[in-house]
Chain A
Amino acid sequence: MSQTSHYYNAQDLARFGQIGEFQPTLAEKFFAYYGEVFQDGALTAKEKALIALAVAHAVQCPYCIDAYTTESYSKGWSEAQMMEAVHVAAAIRGGASLVHGVQMMNRVKDIAM
């Protein structure tokens, strides 16, 4: 039994597949879907790896960052391209906060004299 007190363990990435232990049916469906998503399609598997890398940063999942850094690099994206993808995630995150500023402004205007 693991006595670890860390929320994130690098080793747990390799154990992702084991989530099926508690609910095999749904896990199988998820992994089948997941596998299919990352196949070549209208987008290439290479492009999808870079998108996944950006999304991993947006959702701040250390496991996904680990996995899709390796995946993107091994598929041939350069360091600069990968960092630009992270900036895209950051820009959308920052913009997403800022655009809500309009809502804030609207509300201020509603309540202010």
Chain B
Amino acid sequence: MKSLQAQHHVLADPRHQLEVLDELTSGHIPSFHDKLKQTGQWPLLADRVEILQINVGKMCNQTCKHCHVDAGPDRREIMSLETMQSCVDVVKKFRIPTVDITGGAPEMNPHFRWLVETLSPMGVHLMVRCNLTIILANKKYHDLPEFYRKHRMEVIASLPFYTSDRTDRQRGTGIFAQSIEALKMLNEVGYGHPDTGLQLHLVYNPAGAFLPPPQEQLRQEYQQVLWEQYGIRFNQLYVITNMPISRYLDYLLQTGNFERYMEQLVQAFNPLAVKGLMCRNTISVDWQGYLYDCDFNQMLGIPVIPEASRHISRFDIQTLEHRQIAVRPHCYGCTAGAGSSCGGQIV
């Protein structure tokens, strides 16, 4: 499978994605900001910057059907060392406690290890969004578990389901088996073991046009199956709702599920989830250093509202900490049911 960009697909352009989403909310679906107004939660304001989520590029060894980044082996956009240095400077200057490194497969950025090795001695809590198969993709990545361990990185690993059928349908043939191998390698260096403190979290997201089930129930099932069948341990399971963006949006449109999925998200709107939205304590930075409220807004090209602080080189914590968040129809994905964030369920 190729990325939308390589296919010269109309949805490769984020403006077109926004048109599709906005068209729906000009009809029978209420706009997200109206929904917030109805529940007295407008305008949506950030309240702190605790996490800098750095998207180091769109390059990936996989081409998952639901990818909101439109990542893949054919993508070449990666963050330069110079931009990374600016990110490090910001983390240092404003003492941002947590850095969440994502992609693509972030490990494919040739400066990934530099970034980790620079931030780690500063006492920053480091998270990496790992797709698991990257560990096996090439000999040069085989030592990644050891590298993560050395820097006590929190590993957040995608495993869409505990069976191969649903995982492979979403992420590609053979991905489940490789993911299991990679999880074993992580366990071998101490990840997921209660005594080591090395955190390994798994991420579930639905393989199709439906919402995730409750996190706790699914965690127990994952735990039982992965332990009994493969001897694998992990810490927490995060259930994440698929966002109607990029390749998942294409899937919804292709299969005629788009309107119904959006209606489902709107019907499941949970006002209690608004308080815990990840955009309220996170800033997301793209491979070129531009700033966004979250990785989803980043992919849709919706910048942070304060114009003066739209680049990492002009990072102004005062403005950003109390900024108004730019919301659009895809935000319903974060407030459906128990809510969804990079850290799983919100309520």
Contact = CB atoms under 8 A, between A and B. Distances in A.
B289 interface: no
Nearest to B161: A76
B263 interface: yes
Contact of A14 (B211, B217, B267): B267
Interface in B143-158: none
B213 A75 contact: yes
A32 B213 CA distance: 21
A45 interface: yes
Nearest to A40: B217
Contacts of A76: 161, 213, 218, 221
Interface string A30-66: 0000000000100011100000000000000000000
Interface in B266-297: 267
B220 to A, nearest CB: 10
B217 A46 contact: yes
B208 A73 contact: yes
Given A45-B217, A46-B217, A74 B212 contact: yes
Give chain B's interface secondary structure class.
Answer: loop
A74 B207 CA distance: 9
Contacts of A74: 206, 210-213
A39 to B, nearest CB: 11
A78 interface: yes
Interface string B202-228: 000010101111100110010000000
Interface residues of A, number: 11
A102 B221 CA distance: 44
A8 B118 CA distance: 62
A73 B211 CA distance: 10
B173 interface: no
Contacts, number: 24
Given A14-B267, A74-B206, A44 B212 contact: no
A14 B263 contact: yes
A18 interface: no
A40 B216 CA distance: 12
A65 to B, nearest CB: 15
Contacts of B212: 74
B165 A73 contact: no
B163 interface: yes
A106 interface: no
Contacts of B214: 45
Interface in B181-217: 206, 208, 210-214, 217
Of the candidates A14, A74, A78, the one having the most CB atoms from chain B within 10 angstroms of its own CB is: A74
A44 B217 contact: yes
Nearest to A75: B213
Given A74-B206, A76-B218, A46 B213 contact: yes
A14 B267 CA distance: 9
A13 B235 CA distance: 38
Contacts of A73: 208, 210
Interface centre among A73, A74, A76, A78 (most CB of B within 10 A): A76
A109 to B, nearest CB: 53
Interface string A61-92: 00000000010011110100000000000000
B30 to A, nearest CB: 14
Interface string B60-104: 000000000000000000000000000000000000000000000
Interface of B: 161, 163, 165, 206, 208, 210-214, 217-218, 221, 263, 267
Given A14-B263, A74-B212, 18 more contacts: A40-B217, A45-B214, A45-B217, A46-B213, A46-B217, A70-B210, A73-B210, A74-B206, A74-B210, A74-B211, A74-B213, A75-B213, A75-B217, A76-B161, A76-B213, A76-B218, A78-B163, A78-B165
Of all A-B residue pairs in the complex, the 5 with the closest CB atoms, nearest first, are A74-B210, A75-B213, A70-B210, A74-B213, A74-B211
Interface of A: 14, 40, 44-46, 70, 73-76, 78
8 contacts: A14-B263, A44-B217, A46-B213, A46-B217, A73-B208, A74-B206, A76-B161, A78-B165
